[in-house]
Structure formats: structure tokens, C-alpha cells
Chain A
Amino acid sequence: MRQFISVWLMTLLVGTVAIGSGESATAADDYDYDLVHSSVSFKARHLGISWIHGRFNDVAGKFSLDREDPSKSTFELTIKVDSVDTANKARDEHLRQPDYFDTKQYPTIEFKSTSTKVIKGGFEVTGDFTMHGTTKKVTLVLMGGKEHDFKKVKRVAFSTELSLKRSDFGFDKNAIGPIGDEALIIIDCEGVRNS
């Protein structure tokens, strides 16, 4: 009888834990970065008078949106620097060299959120931004976040811009030259909910 009660109590405990964890899993929706409908582009000043535009073609990421407790939402993005594309092959090759991105040493640019809060029209996400081997805390203002069902697949999109100085991330000042130190990264990200 005592053994039966212990087994019954154990079953009840395990069941409660399983239901509890199941509830927390369903509270947040997990999304994968949709490469087809997203873009990570950048622009940098040329001679201080115009802008050079480029983009990264190979990006991956995921985010988890918790509508009940948005502070538990998380965002991650990984950019393969080798995929840099400025519509000029010679310049792209030059940008991959150690004088600039040093893609053999630092193959990725990464962002990983550490805190999230809701703002009007989106989220303010603070996290670790790693580029060229240097990690700095940055805050992204993600605008958007509305859900859209398309062919029974839930999608969410965000847009943000990040201004940074290349010299803050260990880029050689001697190599900055006519291309300005400051660069603007523009992220338009559409996420597809994991089924």
C-alpha cells in the first residue's frame, strides 16, 4: 500500500512538472530568421559626401517572443561576413581581407540579446554585439512585431538600424581611409514560426 502511494505521488509530481514546463513552452513562440524575406544591409560614408551600400547575403537567426512576459523574449542573429556584397567583386574581396573584416579570423558578426523591454511599436533589445573579435553592449530598437498568418504559417517582422564606429571594434584606423569610420547597419528581419 505504501509503495502504491509513493508511486502515485511520484506520478503526480512528474505530471505537474511536465504540464508546467509545457505551459511555459507554449507561452513563447519561437521563430527562425527567414532569409528569403529578410535583409541585413549596411552603408558607410565615402569621402564624407556620399554613401556606399552593401549587404550580407548569408544570415541566420532565431527569436523567441513571449507575449505574456515580453522581458523573457530573446533575439539572436549570426551574419557570415564572407557573404559581404557591395556589388563590386574586387571591393568585396578587399573587405574580406585582414585589413577590414578578416573573415578567416572572424567569420561571423553576432548579436545575442540579454534583456528585452516593450516600447511603443516594438521592443527595445539590449545585447552583446560581436564584430571583428570585439564584443560590445548595444541596444537595438526593434520596430514591428505584428503577427501575420500566411497559408497557416505565422510570421512576425521587425526592422532596426544600428549606427557604430568601426574603430570601436578593432578595425585598423590606417585602413579606414576614404571610407568613413561610421557605418549604419540596417536589419529587416522576418521570422517564420517553428511548427
Chain B
Amino acid sequence: MPDPLLYLKAMGAAGIVSMTFVPAMVRARPRAGRTWLNSVCVIGFGLGLAAGCCVLSLRLRWPPANGLDRLLMIVVPAVLGIEFIAGIQRVPQWAAWLLRLTLAATIPAILLHGSIYLSGHDDEWPLWRAGVVMAVCSALLAGVWSLLAWLSRRSAGVSMSLTLCLATQCAGLTVMMAGYIGGGTAAFPLVGALIATSIGARLTLPFVGVPTSFVAPAIPGIGVVGLFGLIFIGCFFGRLPTGSAVVMLLAPLLCWISEAPQLRHQKGWLIGMLRLVLVAIPLVAVVVVAKHDFDRGMAPLLEAEHE
């Protein structure tokens, strides 16, 4: 049954671990530069996520038994590994993007492994249909990932990480309200770790000789893959409506509006606020619709079970 206090504890634990680890490690080697900062962000996020999952007592099994297991035990470690490698300055950009696009192409197949979608025995899901859907999902993931990575290089700032956290949290709540409580809870440690990593890295930038506008390239990648994975399992294994899933995945792209010629030279805090508001509008609409559906369908059931 949903336990809001436990979710907040998980988010807090993830945040505290990441927020402690990232500044401590960055300041341990103040002249190490961007590669070190990126690596610390990757490890800090991973540790924070692990701490949050421990607090939630998520039953992860090896070999992974369901979509959530595969998200947390294969997909997230894979993106952390790739972003760790991609952040090394000697690794050429084309090689880093080759790795990212390969992962984007395989994530749907990893998450759907062993399910009715890939069995070929389900009349509603012949293999050709599953293939087309996976290709579209991979293309969407690759598109959102590359556009946000491009935006973070062009106009960096912690606001983009915050919009990804907002989208992930809304996705988690929507997945939970659609009836997949276990899947939605994973959003809490994901968001806690990502927000603390982003803010922790931002606070230490003045001490390491890196411009304060710098964002570790790992952060958009980790955020986008976490958001996509959560939405994907909610949609294919839970009952998250496709329309809501697409809106929540694409919402962070609204950050690009701040690149309009009239807006891009505004002050940093104003740009950040604008991005958050723009991204929040469709997300709030999706959550409101999900809450309405929840009140009609699931809430009476949960209330009856608690009586």
C-alpha cells in the first residue's frame, strides 16, 4: 500500500548520499577538472539511487524478473557506465554518441524482455508490431536525449536538471495513480539522487576552476534515461495512457523555448524560472487528469481495502 512517508525518506536518503558524496569528492581534487567532476556526478548519482532503493526495500532480483528490475539493474547501470566513459575528455564525441545511441536502441528490448510483447504468441502483439513500437520509442528517446544534451552544452544551467526531476516525479506519481504503485515509487530515489547530484555539483563549481554555467554532461543523459524507463514500464506493464506518456517524455524539450532570440539573453535565474514554468504546465495537466481517473477508479478500491 502507498506509504508517502517512506517515499520521502527514500528521496531524502538518496539526496543526502549524493549531496554528501559529490561535493566531498570534487573538493578532494580541486584541480582535477571536468572529467573528474563528471565521474563524481555519475558515481554520486549511483550511490544515492542505491541508498534510496534500500530505504524503499525494493525487491530487486537477479536475474531481473520484471521491467522495474531491468530498469534499475541493467538500464540505469548501463547509462551510468556510458556517461562515465563519455565524460573522459580523451574519448571522442562521436564514440560517446555511438554508445549512447546504441543504448537508446536497445533499452526498449531490454525492458520488454521475456514479456508478452516479445513472445510472438500474443495476437495483439505480433513481432512486427512490437518491432515498430520499439523502434519509435528508441527514436523518441534518442531525440529527447540528443536535444537536451545539445541544449545543456549551448545554454547550461541547473534548471534543465530540475525540469527533468520535475518530469520524472510527475511520471512516478502518474504511474502510481494508474495502479502500478511499485513502478512509480522508483521515481523518488531517482529524483532525490538527480537533484542532489545536480545541486551538489553546481555548488562546488566555484572551487574547482570550472565556469559556473558548466553542467556535467552525464546529468542530462541519466535524467532522460531514468524518465524514459519509468514512463516505458508504466506504459507497457502498467496502465499509463500512451498520450500521458508521450507528453511527459517530451515536456522537458519545452526548455528550448528559452533559446528564442528575445529570451536567450535574459538573466540566468529568469531563464531557469521560465523553463520550469513551461515544463510544469503540461506535466501538471497530465497529473490532474491522472488524479481524476484515479479518483474514479482506484481510490474507492483502496479506501475499501483500508476500511
A interface residues with partner B (beta carbon < 8 Å): 46, 88, 90-91, 93-94, 97-99, 102-105, 107, 133, 170, 172-175, 177-179
A104 and B116 contact, CB distance less than 8 A: yes
B61 and A94 contact, CB distance less than 8 A: no
In the complex, chain A residues whose CB is within 8 Å of the CB of B300: 90
Given contacts A98-B67, A104-B236, contact A90 B61 (CB under 8 A): no
Tell which of B68, B115, B116, B298 touches A94, judged by Cβ atoms closer than 8 Å.
B298
A133 and B65 contact, CB distance less than 8 A: yes
Given contacts A98-B68, A104-B236, A133-B65, contact A174 B182 (CB under 8 A): yes
In the complex, chain A residues whose CB is within 8 Å of the CB of B236: 104
B209 at the interface (CB under 8 A from A): no
In the complex, chain B residues whose CB is within 8 Å of the CB of A93: 179, 239, 297
Question: Residue of B at shortest CB range from A179?
Answer: B305
In the complex, chain B residues whose CB is within 8 Å of the CB of A88: 301
A102 and B237 contact, CB distance less than 8 A: yes
How distant is the Cα of A54 from the Cα of B183 in the complex, in angstroms? 25
A98 and B297 contact, CB distance less than 8 A: no
Given contacts A94-B298, A98-B66, contact A104 B115 (CB under 8 A): yes
Question: Measured between C-beta atoms, what is the minimum distance from A132 to chain B in Å?
Answer: 8
Main secondary structure of the interface of A (DSSP, over half): loop
A-B pair count, CB < 8 Å, reads 69
Tell which of B1, B115, B179, B237 touches A177, judged by Cβ atoms closer than 8 Å.
B1
How distant is the Cα of A178 from the Cα of B237 in the complex, in angstroms? 23
B interface residues with partner A (beta carbon < 8 Å): 1, 57, 59, 61, 65-68, 114-117, 119, 122, 179-183, 233, 236-239, 297-298, 300-301, 305-306
Question: Measured between C-beta atoms, what is the minimum distance from A89 to chain B in Å?
Answer: 8
A172 and B182 contact, CB distance less than 8 A: yes
Given contacts A98-B180, A98-B183, A178-B306, contact A105 B114 (CB under 8 A): yes
> A98-B68, A98-B182, A102-B237 are known contacts; what are 19 more A-B pairs with Cβ within 8 Å?
A90-B298, A90-B301, A97-B237, A97-B238, A98-B67, A98-B180, A98-B183, A99-B180, A99-B182, A102-B66, A104-B115, A105-B67, A105-B116, A105-B237, A170-B61, A174-B59, A174-B182, A175-B181, A175-B182
In the complex, chain B residues whose CB is within 8 Å of the CB of A170: 61, 65
Question: Measured between C-beta atoms, what is the minimum distance from A172 to chain B in Å?
Answer: 6
In the complex, chain A residues whose CB is within 8 Å of the CB of B237: 97-98, 102, 104-105
Question: Measured between C-beta atoms, what is the minimum distance from A72 to chain B in Å?
Answer: 29
Question: Residue of B at shortest CB range from A102?
Answer: B66
How distant is the Cα of A63 from the Cα of B82 in the complex, in angstroms? 52
How distant is the Cα of A172 from the Cα of B183 in the complex, in angstroms? 12
Question: Measured between C-beta atoms, what is the minimum distance from B69 to chain A in Å?
Answer: 10
How distant is the Cα of A81 from the Cα of B257 in the complex, in angstroms? 46
How distant is the Cα of A177 from the Cα of B304 in the complex, in angstroms? 12
Some 6 contacts from A to B, beta carbons below 8 A apart, are A46-B305, A98-B68, A107-B116, A174-B182, A178-B306, A179-B305
5 nearest A-B residue pairs (beta carbon) = A177-B1, A90-B301, A90-B297, A97-B179, A98-B237
Question: Measured between C-beta atoms, what is the minimum distance from B67 to chain A in Å?
Answer: 7
In the complex, chain B residues whose CB is within 8 Å of the CB of A94: 179, 298, 301
How distant is the Cα of A102 from the Cα of B65 in the complex, in angstroms? 10
